[in-house]
Amino acid sequence: MMTQGGTPILILKEGTKRERGKGAQFNNIAAAKAVADAVRSTLGPRGMDKMLVDSLGDVVITNDGVTILKEMDIEHPAAKMLVEVAKTQDAEAGDGTTTAVILAGELLKKAEDLIEQNIHPTVIASGYRQAAEKAREVLERVSTKVSIKDTNVLRDVAITAMQSKSASGQKEHLADIAVKAVTMVAEELASGRYFVDEDNIQIVKKQGGSIADTELVEGIIVDKERVHPGMPSQIDNARIALVDAALEVKKTEIDAKIEITDPSQLQAFLSEEENMLKGMVDRVKKSGATVLFCQKGIDDLAQHYLSKEGIYAVRRVKKSDMEKLAKATGGKIATKLDELTKDDLGNAKVVFEKKIGDDEMTFVTGCKNPKAVSILIRGGTEHVVDEVERSLEDAVSVAAVTIEDGKIIYGGGAAATEIAFGLRDFASTVGGREQIAIEAFADAIEVIPRTLAENAGLDPIDTLIELRKEHKKGGKTAGVDVFTGKITDMKKNKVIEPIRVGTQAISSATDAAVMILRIDDVIAAKSGGRPGAPGGAGGEEGGGESDEF
């Protein structure tokens, strides 16, 4: 901005970092593409792993897209938006994080070519939004219905999610565990649909043994030992009391002084304390409980009385574990010992203490119709156990969303190719410049089969031509078989994904790409400014028209 005399007016501080116009757009696109390229080689069963080393020398070895992006030290603001895409995909669908990021990167790459042809970014954004809407319609059309009873299909969905992970050697065993866990905790809603709360599946990691030793416990594992060695180490047909109160004599809220002038008074004081603790144990015994899980502390004397009564007790149990125990055993958490009755007790076939690695742990097993279960993960090293945990979390998530949505699609690039065909037909009906953007979206979505082919060492162009040819003939489930290098029927190969993985990847990738495309000015904002406040990122000085302040 200048005065009438031509003298420039300085609005921003001298030396303030600022990029604008096509320069800002291309810089943002380049940063986002760099992030997409970083995870691109991990896609598919033939994808490679990444080793991430932090400043302290801690190592993470994985090919899980969201884990890689979370661990990477990313500075560029546009690149951070792609990390958000991966996080959203992981939270909503549990799998497909790499797919979503690669798709966002490819959409921006295609948009870059269109911007160079002087097509306005808002036209591209409009075309992309229409294309995303149509793509979701195509996915609905090619999807297949599935129910909670189709355990074989759910198992195939879980195996597909783990196919590219390093734990794939035991994928059948882990898939069985994941599907069994999900079907146990699934809750039927009034509408007839199901809801799966993954927090009800507890995952406990202990290194040692092999991946094959990973097991499902129809109950809960509490990472605590019994409080007294005199207590029985195993209780059959356990009646379980869950108490959120301390078995200790309460101290006064304010500082208090007790004056004792006679030795008999001291004895009376100690006896009263002893009687109070014995009374607490008697209340537990009276309820009929044979096992006690206490969220707070248990006094040493109370431990002695509990062991004399043959009650198995555990103290300082985490609140989350208490809630899971209540769901698994059918018990209720009592907040006052006085109110503990036999109706509050939960049931389990066996409660026992077992040493896993260096730690003693309490297993609550054989719960009848449990609504919370545990998975104990074993593996040779810490890194193996961590990667098995990530694989199992993916398998559990995809099985859960398949049950919730009741629809599946076929992987290996089959669904992506169908979308590309649908979009090219749709583009011709739209007309105008948006048509070019929709066609660009169709090309971009084919990055999935193309990347699968590249990572398997196949020729991506030949693979894409063969794939298109099969789909043209009507082979809607044809996809890339990365092991044989041929185009085969993904239905026969059992490469199955939940529909939510596809729809969420398209939604979040499109949203991120559109948002990055609409930025034409990158200005250094005031430090410490909160978003939405003047001077902060997103405030009046940071947004709006680039020339008017």
The residues annotated with a catalytic role in the active site are: 64, 97-98, 394
Q: How far apart are CA 529 and CA 538, in angstroms?
A: 9
Residue-wise DSSP of 83-107:
HHHHHHHHHHTSS-HHHHHHHHHHH
The answer to whether the CB of 483 falls within 8 A of the CB of 64 is no
C-alpha of 159 from chain center: 17
Q: How far apart are CA 440 and CA 416, in angstroms?
A: 14
The answer to whether the CB of 522 falls within 8 A of the CB of 20 is yes
Q: How far apart are CA 510 and CA 65, in angstroms?
A: 18
How open is the CA angle 84-85-86, to the nearest 5 degrees? 90
Walk across the sheet containing 407-410 and list its strands: 144-145, 407-410, 496-498
The answer to whether the CB of 444 falls within 8 A of the CB of 107 is yes
CB neighbourhood size of 398 (10 A): 30
Q: What is the DSSP letter of 252?
A: P
CB neighbourhood size of 461 (10 A): 10
CB neighbourhood size of 243 (10 A): 28
Residue-wise DSSP of 35-53:
HHHHHHTT-STTPPPEEEE
Among candidate residues 321, 318, 268, 273, the one with its CA nearest the CA of residue 299: 273
Residue 431: how many CA atoms within 13 Å on its side-chain side?
1
Which amino acid, 418? E
The token pair at 337 is 């010992």
Phi-psi label, residue 544: left if phi above 0, alpha if psi -120 to 50, beta otherwise: left
Beta strands 478-480 and 187-188, pairing class: unpaired
Q: How far apart are CA 231 and CA 291, in angstroms?
A: 10
Among candidate residues 422, 417, 529, the one with its CA nearest the CA of residue 468: 417
Q: For residue 227, what are the CA distances in angstroms to 269, 350, 470?
A: 26, 18, 66
Q: Helices 97-116 and 499-517, interaxial angle, to 10°? A: 40
